[in-house]
Structures are given as C-alpha cells and as structure tokens.
Chains A and B, each alone.
Chain A
Amino acid sequence: METLKIVVSGPVGAGKTTLIRTLSETEVVETDVAAAEAIGKEQTTVAMDYGSLRLEDRTLYLFGMPGQERFDFMWELLLEGSLGMIMLVRGDKPQDFVQARRQLEYLVSRRDIPFVIGVTRQDVQPVWAPNEVAAFLGLPEERTIGLVATEAKSALVPLLRLLEIVVSGEKPLSRSG
C-alpha cells in the first residue's frame, strides 16, 4: 500500500478544514475549538485536521496546517515528506492576503515544496479572481486556482493542478530567487 501526503495551509478561516472535509472519504479528524479571539468565525483549528482518500492501492492523506503563526513550529514538520502544498486564501477577504504572503514566503524560503494557491469563496461577490491574487502574491497565474471548497468537483481542481506541477517538475516562480 502506497501512502502519500499533501498539506493544506493558509491563514485562519481560509477554508482548510472545509476542503479536507469535502475531499476526504474517511471521517475527518478535526481539532477545532472555540476561537478565543475575534477571528471572524466561531471555531478554529488548533493542531491539524486530517482526512484521507483511498485510490486503488494507495492512500492519500490530507493534513491541514494550523493558520495561526504561534503554531509555526509545526509548519515545517507537517511539510516533511509531503508531495506538495495547497495554500488557501479567502478571495472575499483581502485583509488576509498579507498574512498568506507572509506564510508562503516563510515556507518557500525554508522548504523545497511544490505548491498551488487556492482562492476560495468564488461563489460569493465581491471576490478576488485567481489571477488578481497571483499578481498580489507575485506568482504566475497558473499557480492560482479559484474554487468553492464546499463543492467536491471544485475542491478537486487545486489537488489535480498540484499533482500536474509535481509531475511536470514545473519551475514557475518568477519574481524572486
């Protein structure tokens, strides 16, 4: 049995738990607790969410990375041995983009990790389009994908894109070193 791991990261409230819940075939192990601060939602993940998907003779594990920076000691540990990372940002919450960029810059400067950016909440208006988020983050447009994390077909798209990037060995990072 082959086991594979993909990490879902992003700021608090980006939709990580929702995406894992949507994609997972098994019961998702959640570590959500009542939020102690006003973060825009009642529950927040304090350790990691975990779900899995069985495909023929292999199992894909999905790990949700806690968005709060005080858990940054876990970020690199979670990425250890992973195939890649899907970072989610809420398209209707531009105030979170700075934090997403900060987290992305930290992770890509420290780990050799293929990634895609999933721009969630594409079903609400107003919302930033994926290419606009790509411009903000200084990434090529093909690195960002719009999605609705509650819809299975849509939630699958960033996963497929990430795997395509890993397979093709794409090196699309342009703006910095």
Chain B
Amino acid sequence: MAIFGSLNQMSLSDLLPLMSVKKGALELFNLDKHPNVTLYFDSGVLRCAFKGPRELTPPHARALVTWLLGAHKGSFEFIPEATPRRCEFPLGWPVTQLLLSTVTVRDEIEHHRAHLPHPDTVYRLVSSAHPEDGFLREAQVYLTSGSSARRLAAALDLPLDQVRYQLLKLSQAGVVVIARRKQTTKPEQKGAAARLLSALKSRFAGRRTWKP
C-alpha cells in the first residue's frame, strides 16, 4: 500500500490531516517553478522541511507550506518511517494547527489583496519591537536601510505576496513606514516654479474664467 498522487487531484490541505497520523517523509516533486520538497512528519508534528537539499528555516518553511497549499501542479509520494539525516531547524509544528494557520494566512492575503502594498514601494524599519517575529528577524537588516517587498522576496527567497502581506501587517503595527524620499528641491526648480507661479497669477488674477 502506498500514498502517492497528484496535487491536481489531492491538494496539500487534503493530505495534511492524513500526515498527522503518519511517521515518514512526504516528497513533493514536479512542482511549478520549485525544486523538490520533502516534509518530515512524526507523531502529528511537522519536524523539518527541505527544499532540494537545503533545510528550511521556520519562516521559509511556513512560507513554503502556505504556497504549497495553493499548488495544483505537482506530484507527491509518502515514504513511511523515513527520517531526515539532519534537522538543524526543528519546526515541531502540530499538523492541525499548521493547516489552520497557513490557510488563515492564505485567506487573509486574498482578503487584503487590494490593500497589499505595491511590490516596489520602499519601507524602512522604525521600531525594533517584535523580536519574536521570524520574518522581521530575517528582514531587519534590509529594512533598516529601506527595502521593497520585491527586493525582500528575492533576498529572503520568499513568495512576493507573502512578503507584501507581512509588510502590510508590520506597517499597520507601526514597525515599518514608507521610506519617503527626502524632498530636496533644486534651486533652479524653485526659480522656475516661482517664475511660473508669477506668470500664472498675473495672467489669471481676477478672471472668472481664464480661457480667452
């Protein structure tokens, strides 16, 4: 008896409840724009996650699972009793809670889609609170000097929409703000504006309508 199939027919959200009562590795392959992924389960807990040969840190693992929940292209196979050769970033996430929280994040991203910042809007850090926030810990170095969601997504290897969502949340919490470019009007611009203002005022002063 084997557990295998296609994400097109059985999504990760269908598989996760099953994984909560299994011990072994769930291998996902032929994914869209992603290398193979291996998730190790034991006693109802996700122990650790790998993308290709690379073990994922908790923020990356959470982002990956969130992305996988919406993936419809790819295949999976479960290897019973398989254990990782190493587990440097133990996750210890109960599968049922993981399913609930990642589905919530996906729903929130869709719900807030119109409010998500433009991918290239630049934010900067103004508060070092929330050290427990895994995303902020990794993004802090970039946000200190100012960074956009697109740059962060590339630097941290996270999905762009999830980074935009994180920036929206951090912005609402007052942890990051828009990094407004300093307005430094050049003297020649000031001069040009002054001449234009004067010309407009002298031409249209007192007129009710100003087109001849």
A residues at B contact (CB < 8 Å) = 2, 4, 25, 55-56, 58, 60, 69, 72, 83-84, 98-99, 102-103, 105-106, 108-114, 152-153, 156, 159-160, 163-164, 166-167, 169, 171, 173, 175-177
Contacts and interface: CB of A to CB of B under 8 A. Distances in A.
A153 B118 contact: no
B124 to A, nearest CB: 6
A112 B183 contact: yes
A109 B179 contact: yes
Given A106-B121, A109-B178, A156-B204, A2 B192 contact: yes
Contacts of A58: 192, 195-196, 199
A109 B122 CA distance: 5
Given A55-B199, A98-B114, 18 more contacts: A4-B193, A56-B199, A58-B199, A98-B115, A102-B115, A106-B118, A109-B178, A109-B180, A110-B121, A111-B181, A112-B181, A153-B207, A153-B210, A156-B210, A160-B197, A169-B183, A173-B180, A176-B180
Nearest to A162: B193
A108 B181 contact: yes
B29 to A, nearest CB: 34
Q: What are the 9 closest A-B residue pairs judged by CB atoms, nearest first?
A: A176-B177, A166-B193, A55-B199, A109-B122, A106-B118, A163-B197, A112-B181, A106-B121, A176-B178
A166 B185 contact: yes
Interface residues of B, number: 38
A64 B189 CA distance: 20
14 contacts: A84-B193, A106-B117, A106-B118, A108-B180, A109-B148, A110-B122, A113-B181, A152-B211, A156-B210, A160-B200, A160-B201, A163-B193, A169-B183, A177-B177
Given A152-B211, A153-B209, A167 B193 contact: yes
B126 interface: yes
A72 B118 contact: yes
A99, A114, A167 interface centre (most CB from chain B within 10 Å): A167
B178 A108 contact: yes
Given A112-B182, A114-B183, A105 B118 contact: yes
A99 B115 CA distance: 8
A55 B197 CA distance: 10
Contacts of A153: 204, 207-210
Contacts of B185: 114, 166, 169
B15 to A, nearest CB: 36
B14 interface: no
B86 interface: no
A169 B199 contact: no
Contacts of A69: 118
Given A166-B189, A169-B190, A176-B180, A25 B211 contact: yes
B82 interface: no
B207 A177 contact: no
B110 interface: no
A120 B177 CA distance: 28
Contacts of B203: 55
Given A56-B199, A109-B179, A153-B210, A166 B190 contact: yes
